[in-house]
Amino acid sequence: MSSLAKTLITGLLLVLVANRALAETAGAQAMARGDYARAVKELTVAAKAGNAQAQFDLGVALREGKGVEADPVQAFNWFRQAADKALPEAQYEVGQMEEDGEGTAVNPSDAAEWYRKAAKQGNVAAMFALGELYRNGTGVPKDEAQSVRWYMPAADKNDVESQLILGRLYQQGLGVAKNLNDAAVWYRKAAQLGSAEGRYQLALLLLDGDPAQWTGHRPSRRSIEAADWLRAAAQQGYAPAQYSLGVAHLRGVVVPLDPAAGLLYLQQAADQGHPAAQHYLGRVYWQGRLVTADPVRAYSWLELAAQLGDSTAFIDREELGRTLALPQLQLAKKRAQEWLAGRGI
């Protein structure tokens, strides 16, 4: 082959590659501005020409039904082509779809291999997913020590879910030696990243228990810090923290005695469907020590707590119910059912 011919072929290849890249770029830009029909058109050209990023982006469009009718089978096919080209985000999506049986047959063992390939390239979501498979024994032998090996690098990259799980594993001694200091380290990292659950769990760890279960507590430097984390989680709307802080204020443990604040936090947790908070609030209205006694409202909260899983609320509900007149009982049950219906329960 002459040097001129080689030059021409090289030039044509460069033009072809450039055109693929331009089509992928145009498709990505159209996707970003919400012009999904144009995006799919451009991405299809680039994907068929073998551009891995375009294949991945087209898979996303097909999976989510953007610019085209949702088609998980075709989405999987494009993800798989991009994954075969070692694109880590595509490898993760293939693993996820094989784990869930979306667009393809359920195959958790194959999903694990795709997650592993993506994780080795630094894909955080794949690291977490692989950790979950080992922790639950899905597609791979159950091995909590192996799960920790994959959660750890994800947690180091600020994956909050991995940090929370590591905190629980160290706290319980699963897959690692039990170490409350290490548990606190991971909960603290999650808390500092804004996780309400991380803040709540760190508070309970610092207090060595849930203040909602206490009748008295002597303030300490740890309890002051714990109260701050508990308050931060409650202010984020985290119902378990609202419940614990509400009871703590009503009893004056960890935080100052403040019935008004305690009732407010309890109400917030109860409104979110926290059964223990509903039970406690029901007893408050039943006993009438902190608020005016209201047996109808008390029964409604006890009814909700019982229906949402607080087995001990059932006993209180039955005892209170025997003291109510039939119209009161009917009104209380009606309010509870309206509350449930309003939340689609």
CB burial string 221-237: b at 16+ within 10 A, e below? eebeebbebbbbbbeee
Lookup: tokens for 56: 């991945």
Q: What is the pLDDT of residue 31?
A: 67
pLDDT by residue (tens digit) across 252-276?
889 999 999 999 999 999 999 999 9
Which residues, 6 or more positions from 302, have their beta carbon under 8 angstroms from its beta carbon?
278, 279, 282, 283, 286, 313, 316, 317, 320
pLDDT by residue (tens digit) across 74-98?
999 999 999 999 999 999 999 999 9
pLDDT by residue (tens digit) across 201-239?
999 999 988 988 887 666 667 888 999 999 999 999 999
Q: What is the pLDDT of residue 25?
A: 75
pTM of the entire predicted model: 0.86
Helices H / strands E in the chain, number of each = 18, 0
Domain ranges for the chain, please list them.
273-345
Q: What is the pLDDT of residue 299?
A: 97
